[in-house]
Structure 1
Amino acid sequence: MTKPYVFITRKLPEDVVAPLLAIAEVEMWPHEDMAVPRDVLVEKAKRATAILPMVSDPIDEDVLSAGSALRVVANMGVGYDNIDVAAATHRGILVCNTPDVLTDTTADLTFALLLATARRLVEAAMFLKEGKWKSWSPFLLAGADVHHKTIGIVGMGNIGQAVAKRAKGFDMNILYYNRSRRPEAEEKLGAVYRPFADLLAESDFVVCLTPLTSETRHLFNREAFRQMKKSAIFINAARGAVADEQALYEALVGGEIAAAGLDVFEHEPVAADHPLVSLPNVVALPHIGSATYETRRAMMTLARDNIIAVLEGRPPLTPVNRIS
């Protein structure tokens, strides 16, 4: 009997993949840091029963329709805006993600990005490494306090609530905006719901953690940035396309907001000469929100286990869609 064929779009550790080998033929794109070319992905999909993609791999109609055997796409990431879920559902293909295992790690990075931006840590480190430190002065590389300030969290899911827990430790005033109220966050964390415009106007730090959907695309537009304080700092650790990058650039250059910390961009990867990356009041990171050894291995393992479950005729552990 022919084993099902599984295609993995990056090279993963052998011990992670080993349990799959007992029940499937597995092929991995042989590079850890190079995206699989689109034509290769479509070609592999023609015979695949399962695909394990990264969050940057577009799994669209062309990929989903390439072959008739595809049963499951197990994304290595909590976000799945790279997958056409509606098209997958129509074709009877399960889509899975890796929630929960990266919540605290991503919250750590988000708050670290907030601190680094507020206190100008990257700029200060480069100042020293470039030999510019000649003397001490009262306002040398002075940044902004974080403690006792107001943080406005847009997207109060698991990661948003984990960031709020960290903000509570800094004695911050916690505001949030979400599609639906979060009574548990209000009770346990003292978070206060605000309409979007009010949150923007009141917050010293505006932290974007909302998923990318048709409703949230460019949620942070020209009008949104104009509603913020001139001293406000914008942090985006969700998806790049939630913010209009041109509007953000103009807000930063025009002094409408003070600074930005970005772990995500609309089109990734970005070059060093990207307009936002080149600004001195921007701390830019290469989408490393979940990038610890422990968490990335947990994500790989969960994606793998979702595939094993489906191939063995069991329900997936963390499905995004339902197939009737």
Structure 2
Amino acid sequence: MTLQIVRLDRWIDPCFDEMIQAHPGVKLSIIETDSPMQDNLALMARTDLYHTTASRGETPLHWHITPELLKSWPRLKVVSSTGAGYDTIDVQACTDAGVLVVNQSGANADSVAEHALGMMLTLLHRISESDHVLRTYDRRVAVSRESLMGRELRGKTLGLVGIGEIGQRVARLAKAFGVRVLATDPYLEDAQVEQRGALRVPLAQLLAESDVISVHCPRNQETEYLFNAELFQAMKPNSVFISTARGGIHDEQALYEALVSGHLSAAGVDVWDPEPPVQDHPLLTLPNVLASFHTAGVTHEARHNVARLGAEQLLQICRGETPPRMVNPEVLDRVMARFASEA
């Protein structure tokens, strides 16, 4: 029996299609994202595995995996996300329907960690502010270099909110700069956090002691708008806030107010809610905000890794093997039984 894999026509590194198409017993079809769903019902009815985009902003709502959409995929057994996140997938609905959800956790971790560290250095040394002044200032007016005086990263305390694949890489990079690293993560024990290069502390202590806080947790019911006005106020005065995780974990208005008041010295924001932010977004008006277009994990190397690991994992499942990055592993036996019954 030939297994049907479907993906949307969003850009993906070519190695994904090449690997899938080279595998016997598997057929790959590509759906035009902007096409009416009605045009794709026949294909959806015979699809076994669906590889979908991870970003909510890049995926039309009618292609998000919801209980309603699952009714149109009667043979669907696996939903695979193109990234570590799975914002477009209702995991509980998939679990209820006996559909396995897998992601590509760790595939872009090096890129995101480097981006976060780059933001730290840029903000502490005020590189982007200096660049802007140099390009725009009136040469007839003297500018004091001391007005752009920055701070070293060495000797600072870094607080990591989440120390998974990305967070532990940030910890290792920061240690090379002589940084003390704290972390809070409800899913890990003290010894596990220590093995990943940090001291595990409660969130309140992390907020009070960290010169830089970098967010590396998923967005879920526990973390949605976790960083609100109260938490920003609890942060160490003159500290730096950085998020390369997901939009909606921090309250953007509250962050703006913490920066304008002078309580926080700077912020690096790669993720927004919604994405992209409106052009006149308050945070984009501040010189001490370093903004990027949710590109922390968008490098040539990361995109290749994500595509390669995604293809490898789907092919493992097609061969009846246990995939390494399951979001709802409790349904694995049910899914494998469905594959066997339809063989």
The question of 1:178 aligning with 2:188 is answered no
- Superposed CA offset, 1:242-262 (max 9, x none): 111121122112222111101
Aligned amino acid, residue 8 of structure 2: I
Q: Which one of the candidate residues 282, 289, 294 is aligned to 2:296? A: 289
CA distance in 2, matches of 1:315, 1:248: 42
Q: Which one of the candidate residues 109, 123, 127 is aligned to 2:115? A: 109
CA distance in 2, matches of 1:73, 1:38: 20
Query: Structure 1 runs of 4+ off > 6 angstroms?
Result: none
- Superposed CA offset, 1:145-164 (max 9, x none): 21101111111222111111
Q: Secondary structure at the match of 1:213?
A: coil
**CA-CA distance at 1:112 after TM superposition:** 0.7
1:10-25 to structure 2, matched below 5 A, reads 10-22=10-22, 23-25=25-27
**CA-CA distance at 1:65 after TM superposition:** 2.7
The question of 1:148 aligning with 2:136 is answered no
**CA-CA distance at 1:305 after TM superposition:** 2.0
Task: Note if contact 2:16-2:310 (Cα within 8 Å) is conserved in structure 1.
Answer: no
Aligned to 1:229: 236
Q: Percent identity?
A: 34
Aligned amino acid, residue 241 of structure 1: G
Aligned to 1:33: none
1:83-94 to structure 2, matched below 5 A, reads 83-94=89-100
CA distance in 1, matches of 2:248, 2:85: 13
Aligned amino acid, residue 20 of structure 2: L
Task: Note if contact 2:123-2:290 (Cα within 8 Å) is conserved in structure 1.
Answer: yes
The question of 1:128 aligning with 2:140 is answered no
Task: Mark the runs of 5 or more structure 1 residues left unpaired by the alignment.
Answer: 31-35
CA distance in 1, matches of 2:284, 2:35: 27
CA distance in 2, matches of 1:103, 1:154: 15
The question of 1:274 aligning with 2:281 is answered yes
- Superposed CA offset, 1:23-60 (max 9, x none): 44433356xxxxx3495499467333222122113333
**CA-CA distance at 1:123 after TM superposition:** 2.4
CA distance in 2, matches of 1:182, 1:83: 31
Aligned to 1:161: 168
Task: Note if contact 1:305-1:317 (Cα within 8 Å) is conserved in structure 2.
Answer: no
1:1-324 to structure 2, matched below 5 A, reads 4-22=4-22, 23-28=25-30, 36-37=33-34, 40=37, 43=40, 46-47=44-45, 48-56=47-55, 57=59, 58-130=64-136, 132=138, 135=142, 137-179=144-186, 180-186=188-194, 189=197, 191-322=198-329, 323=331, 324=334
The TM-score with structure 2 as length reference comes to 0.84
CA distance in 2, matches of 1:53, 1:276: 31
Aligned amino acid, residue 108 of structure 2: L
**CA-CA distance at 1:86 after TM superposition:** 0.9
Q: Secondary structure at the match of 1:259?
A: strand
Task: Note if contact 1:310-1:316 (Cα within 8 Å) is conserved in structure 2.
Answer: yes
CA distance in 1, matches of 2:209, 2:68: 45
Compute the RMSD of aligned alpha carbons.
2.5
Q: Secondary structure at the match of 1:301?
A: helix
Task: Note if contact 1:153-1:208 (Cα within 8 Å) is conserved in structure 2.
Answer: yes
Task: Mark the runs of 5 or more structure 2 residues left unpaired by the alignment.
Answer: 335-343
CA distance 1:210–1:11, shift in 2 (3 Å): closer
- Superposed CA offset, 1:181-203 (max 9, x none): 341442573x3222111211111
Q: Secondary structure at the match of 1:46?
A: helix
CA distance in 1, matches of 2:155, 2:103: 36
CA distance in 1, matches of 2:65, 2:302: 23
CA distance in 2, matches of 1:250, 1:77: 32
Q: Could you say which structure has the higher helix fraction?
A: 2
The TM-score with structure 1 as length reference comes to 0.88
Aligned amino acid, residue 44 of structure 2: K
